[in-house]
């Protein structure tokens, strides 16, 4: 039984016995005792003052004394105004340590055979450009959330929707046709997604030239944008694609193939993957069909120009376009089609979309629309809305080629990790292969942790130099601590020490007791991270745990401790800290080294 429940039940019993008043468990408010006060758990006394007919302080003292006299795990208590601070007996914490030591997957809930299924969509790239820093935050958040939800007992399907059609794709294709001279990834030595992205930038550059020329000839800027030959040619190409033009389709398949190969390489570098990938080119027609069904049922309506809309004003929103007058689809239509295919493929209980906060309104509309079209999970869909990520230099723009490329950033992080690790002597004694593996792990760990430790809802600035620091709230600091603990455990084994269950009568210091309490909090932290859809909750807990462990490591002997029972306790404690670090970092998608 959880400590909080035991204490809550004891408080209910105390109020009933002392004041002859029945109260519910819900009336008991518990919180962690603040660090500046003595105690482990604090009971808020104010709800019981009326029943006691005494001052908050006197009520707290009476309830505290009753708990001390009648509940063995209460070792002491003190009263601060209307708050009762309880100290939990050390043998309780040692027992908790022994229990967690016997749980290989401590912190995870084993999914039931009939566990509900959560589908999580992330990445959602366009095939006209490579992945960039913004995509990195999206992928890392989506992948981490999928692991966190699995640890909370959900069956999880990781999915991706690739936006592989539309005018933006045609811009890259047209620019390659006009200016590419047959260049390929093989002939250029460029990754395919980089090559296609290059021509997206080329299109924009040449298009701007045409606009400028037309304006100089007397056209308005608006007319110049419409009449520019490049834009008209791109729109003609899009129409040809939709009509199934064989030559355009072949070029589309070839260039998308280059991009997919490039994406796969980047995903592998980042350590993220998917269980199922959908493509807009396969879903938009299904979406049109569902919208037309909605039209027949009176859910949608057609305007005089032939366009199809849904009126959501009664739901506090506005009217939303679903099909243009020429019958072509919009993003909302594609999302409906993708939802239909997913619903056919999987028994979805909850659908989570990992998409930036600029799309908040889109997902409000989508939720209502899916619900009205008959999708059971429509109204309950989760838009995991996250803030933008920038560099210290400012915002990035894809069309102008000023984005921070994902591959370049990963390579830079690994290179910086190599240089920093060598300077600090972290790679001494490693073979070249080991040094490369550790540097890669540290570089990626620095990148991932720096992004994931920030509240997802907030905009953030990614600073590569700060992220690679081996001190402070960083991935390398946590990774190094794990390696340090594993080194201690290896030395213990070499010296013939075998870890056994800890003696529950052993006296502990406050620091040691507090470390066990932090470990005992871990399952609740994993649960909170799942409920809040926030890897940051998990990341910052791990930092707090590591910070406390390093102070313990500095203040107490482990292998040199002469008291065998105490030495065994500190080794068991260290082993469980390492276990929780490794599991928490796994949920964040971060690997930790065994040595460093």
**What are the pLDDT digits (tens) for 341-361?**
999 999 999 999 999 999 999
The bridge status of strand 30-32 relative to strand 41-44 is: antiparallel
Q: Count of CB atoms within 10 A of residue 437's CB? A: 14
Residue 397: its pLDDT value, please?
46
Strand order, beta sheet including 117-121: 276-279, 155-162, 117-121, 348-356, 382-386
The bridge status of strand 308-311 relative to strand 319-323 is: antiparallel
**What are the pLDDT digits (tens) for 482-536?**
999 999 999 999 999 999 999 988 889 989 999 999 999 999 999 999 999 999 9
Coil/strand/helix, residue 84: strand
Q: Is the pLDDT of residue 580 over 80?
A: yes
Residues written for the chain: 596
Q: Count of CB atoms within 10 A of residue 478's CB? A: 24
Segment (H or E) for 204: helix 192-216
Q: Which domains does the chain have, with CATH numbers?
A: 3-88 (3.30.1360.70), 417-587 (1.10.730.10)
Query: How far is residue 25 from each of residues 7, 13, 42, 59, 63, measured CA to CA in Å?
Result: 10, 10, 15, 18, 15
Strand order, beta sheet including 83-88: 30-32, 41-44, 83-88, 74-80
Residue 298: its pLDDT value, please?
94
**Contacting residues for 379 by C-beta, under 8 A, at least 6 apart:** 367, 368, 370, 371
**What are the pLDDT digits (tens) for 295-312?**
999 999 999 999 999 999
Q: Is the pLDDT of residue 396 over 50?
A: no
Alpha helices in 217-245 (DSSP H): 221-227, 229-242
């Amino acid at each position: 039984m959880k400590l909080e429940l035991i204490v809550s039940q004891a408080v209910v019993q105390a109020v009933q016995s002392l004041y002859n008043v029945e109260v519910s468990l819900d009336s008991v408010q518990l919180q962690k005792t603040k660090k500046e006060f003595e105690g482990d758990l604090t009971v808020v006394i104010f709800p019981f003052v009326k029943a006691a007919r005494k001052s908050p302080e006197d009520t707290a003292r009476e309830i505290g004394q009753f708990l001390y006299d009648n509940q063995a795990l209460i070792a002491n208590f003190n009263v601060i105004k209307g708050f009762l601070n309880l100290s939990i007996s050390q043998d309780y914490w040692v027992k908790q340590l022994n229990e967690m030591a016997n749980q290989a997957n401590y912190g995870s809930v084993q999914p039931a055979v009939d566990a509900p299924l959560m589908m999580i969509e992330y990445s959602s790239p366009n095939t006209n450009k490579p992945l960039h820093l913004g995509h990195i935050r999206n992928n890392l958040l989506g992948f981490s959330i999928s692991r966190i939800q699995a640890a909370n007992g959900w069956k999880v399907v990781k999915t991706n929707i690739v936006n592989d059609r539309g005018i933006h794709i045609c811009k890259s294709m047209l620019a390659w046709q006009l200016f590419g001279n047959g260049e390929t990834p093989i002939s250029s030595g460029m990754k395919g997604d980089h090559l296609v992205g290059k021509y997206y930038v080329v299109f924009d550059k040449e298009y701007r030239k045409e606009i400028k020329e037309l304006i100089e000839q007397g056209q308005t800027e608006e007319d110049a944008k419409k009449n520019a030959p490049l834009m008209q040619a791109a729109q003609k190409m899009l129409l040809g694609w939709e009509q199934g033009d064989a030559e355009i389709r072949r070029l589309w398949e070839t260039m998308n193939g280059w991009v997919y190969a490039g994406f796969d390489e980047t995903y592998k570098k980042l350590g993220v993957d998917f269980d199922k990938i959908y493509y807009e080119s396969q879903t938009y027609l299904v979406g049109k069909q569902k919208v037309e069904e909605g039209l027949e049922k009176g859910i949608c309506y057609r305007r005089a120009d032939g366009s199809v809309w849904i009126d959501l004003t009664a739901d506090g929103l506005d009217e939303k376009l679903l099909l243009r007058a020429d019958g072509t689809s919009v993003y909302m239509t594609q999302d409906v089609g993708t939802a239909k295919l997913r619903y056919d493929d999987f028994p979805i209980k909850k659908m989570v979309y990992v998409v930036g906060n600029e799309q908040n309104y889109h997902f409000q509309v989508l939720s209502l629309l899916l619900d009205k079209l008959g999708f059971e999970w429509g109204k309950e869909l989760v838009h995991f809305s996250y803030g933008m990520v920038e560099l210290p230099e400012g915002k990035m723009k894809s069309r102008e080629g000023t984005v921070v490329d994902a591959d370049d950033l990963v390579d830079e992080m690994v290179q910086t990790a190599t240089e920093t690790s060598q300077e600090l002597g972290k790679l001494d004694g490693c073979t070249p292969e080991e040094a490369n593996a550790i540097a890669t792990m540290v570089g990626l760990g620095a990148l991932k942790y720096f992004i994931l430790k920030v509240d997802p809802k907030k905009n953030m600035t990614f600073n590569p130099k700060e992220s690679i620091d081996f001190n402070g709230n960083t991935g390398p600091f946590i990774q190094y601590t794990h390696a340090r603990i594993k080194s201690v455990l290896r030395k213990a084994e070499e010296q013939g020490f075998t870890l056994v269950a800890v003696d529950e009568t052993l006296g502990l210091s406050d620091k040691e007791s507090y470390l066990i309490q932090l470990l005992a909090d871990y399952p609740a932290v994993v649960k909170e991270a799942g409920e809040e859809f926030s890897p940051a909750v998990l990341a910052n807990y791990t930092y707090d745990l590591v910070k406390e462990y390093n102070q313990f490591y500095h203040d107490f002997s482990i292998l040199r401790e002469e008291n065998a029972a105490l030495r065994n306790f500190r080794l068991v404690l260290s082993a469980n800290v390492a276990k929780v670090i490794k599991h928490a970092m796994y949920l964040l998608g971060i690997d930790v080294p065994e040595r460093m």
